[in-house]
Amino acid sequence: MTDRTQSAAFGVAATEPGARVLSGMQPTGDSLHLGSYMGALLNWVRTQEQFDAYFFIPDLHAITVPQDPAQLRQAVRRTAAQYIAGGIDPERSTLFVQSHVPEHVQLAWVLMCQTGMGEASRMTQFKDKSAKGGADSAGVGLLTYPILQAADILLYQPHGVPVGEDQKQHIELTRDLAQRFNHRFGETFRIPEPIIPEVGARILDLQEPAAKMSKSASSPNGLINLTDTDKQIAKKIKSAVTDDGTEIRFDREAKPGVSNLLTIYSVLTGKTVGDIVAEYQGKMYGHLKVDLAEIAVQHLGPVRDRTSELLDDPAELDALLAKGAAKARDVATVTLTEAYQKVGFLPGT
C-alpha cells in the first residue's frame, strides 16, 4: 500500500533510531467505528513498523462524561481487543491502560498549572461536549481533558502522534504547553508532530455527510461500528445518502456523500481516488455502493471476528495490558521525575 501519511515527522523521525509514536482512543460508545479505524488505527499499524510505538486506552478520559462502571470495564477490554484485531502487535508495540500508569495524572497536574482558563475553554471539543449537556452540567474534567491528553503525550517524548483531523487542536495545545514549560523551566519535553493521514482523516456520517462519523451519531445507520455484522455493514453502505446527479466524481463540496464513499473505498483497497473514479466512469452510484459494501465486509468482518476471539480470554488480555503498563511506567517515570525536579519539588527518596 502507498504511504498515505502527510507528516514530515513520519519520514524524518523514522530515520532516528528509537523514535517514538504514541496515541489512544477513548473506550466510550459501543465500539470503535469505521471513522476511528481509518483515521487512526490503520495509521497506527503503519507507524508501528517504523517507530517505538505506544498505544493506550484512555480510560481516565472516558469518565469526563457520565459512565457505567461495568460497561467501562468491558469497553476497556473491547477497545484493547479491537486495537489488536485491527493490527496492533502487542509484541512489537507497547499496549496499556492509562489508569495503570499514575504518572499521567501526576504530570497533568503540573501542566494544568501552566494552562490559562481562556486557553482551555477555547477548545472546540470542550465547547461542543459541554454545550450538549448544557454548560452547567459539564464537569471540570471536560475542561481539563486536553491537558491530561498533553500529559499522556509528553510523558513518552514521542516524535509523532497519529490521530484523525479532529484531534489537531489538542496536539497544538500539547505543543504550546511543552514549549511554555521548556521555556520556563528548561528543555524537558520533545515537541511532538501530529501524524494525520492524507486520505481518511475525516470520514463522514453515512446519513449526514455534513458531519463527521462519530459514536455520538444522530442516526445509527450513519455509523459503522467494528462490532457490526456483515449484514449491518452492507446495509449501511448500500443505504448511504448520496448526492443529486448521477456522476461518480470526487468533489467534497458539491458531492460530500459520494466523495466520502470514494474515500472509504480508497483507504480499504489502497487504490487512489483517481483510479477508482476512472474505474466507475459511466456507472451508477448503486454499482459503487454494492462493490464497496462487499469490500467493507471483507475487510471489517475478520477484525470483528478476531475481536470476539480475543475477548473470550479476558485473563490473557489483562496479562498483556499489565505487561504493557509496566513497560510504559519505565518510560513515564523518567520524564515525570525530571519535570518534578524542574518545577522545584524536593526529591521524595
Residues classed as catalytic:
129, 212, 215
* Sign of the torsion formed by the C-alpha atoms of 44, 49, 103 and 12: negative
Instruction: Extract the C-alpha cell encoding 151.
Output: 500529559
Residues 45-84 close enough to bind ligand LTN by CB under 6 A:
58, 61
The DSSP bridge partners found for residue 204 are 212
Instruction: Extract the C-alpha cell encoding 135.
Output: 454548560
- 153 belongs to the binding site for ligand LTN (CB under 6 A): yes
Nearest to 270 by CA among 77, 36, 3: 3
Q: Which of 5, 13, 21, 26 binds ligand LTN (CB under 6 A)?
A: 26
Distances, alpha carbon 143 to alpha carbons 25, 27, 299, in Å: 18, 19, 37
**Nearer of residues 181 and 265 to ligand ATP, judged by Cβ:** 265
**Nearer of residues 170 and 190 to ligand LTN, judged by Cβ:** 170
**Nearer of residues 214 and 272 to ligand ATP, judged by Cβ:** 214
- 212 belongs to the binding site for ligand LTN (CB under 6 A): no
- 7 belongs to the binding site for ligand LTN (CB under 6 A): no
- 97 belongs to the binding site for ligand LTN (CB under 6 A): no
Sequence-distant (6+) residues with CB within 8 A of 339 are: 107, 110, 181, 185, 188, 189
What angle (nearest 5°) sits at the alpha carbon of residue 217, between those of residues 122 and 248? 105
| Residues of this chain that bind ligand ATP (CB under 6 A) | 25-26, 35-36, 38-40, 163-164, 166-167, 201-203, 212-216
Q: Choose the stretch contacting ligand LTN; rule: CB under 6 A; options: 18-26, 205-213, 243-251, 311-319.
A: 18-26
CB of 258 to ligand LTN, least distance (A): 27
Q: Give dist(CA 4, CA 196) in Å, integer.
A: 9
**Nearer of residues 149 and 266 to ligand LTN, judged by Cβ:** 149
149 touches, from ligand LTN, ligand ATP, none (C-beta below 5 to 8 Å by class): ligand LTN
Distances, alpha carbon 37 to alpha carbons 8, 57, 66, 266, in Å: 22, 14, 24, 14
**Nearer of residues 109 and 345 to ligand LTN, judged by Cβ:** 109
Binding mask 161-190 for ligand LTN (x = CB under 6 A): x-x---x--x--------------------
Sequence-distant (6+) residues with CB within 8 A of 333 are: 103
What angle (nearest 5°) sits at the alpha carbon of residue 208, between those of residues 75 and 68? 20
Looking at 113-188, list the stretches that DSSP marks H as alpha helix, in order from N- to C-terminal side.
Answer: 117-121, 124-132, 140-154, 168-185
202 touches, from ligand LTN, ligand ATP, none (C-beta below 5 to 8 Å by class): ligand ATP
| Chain positions contacting ligand LTN, by CB under 6 A | 22-26, 58, 61, 149, 152-153, 161, 163, 167, 170
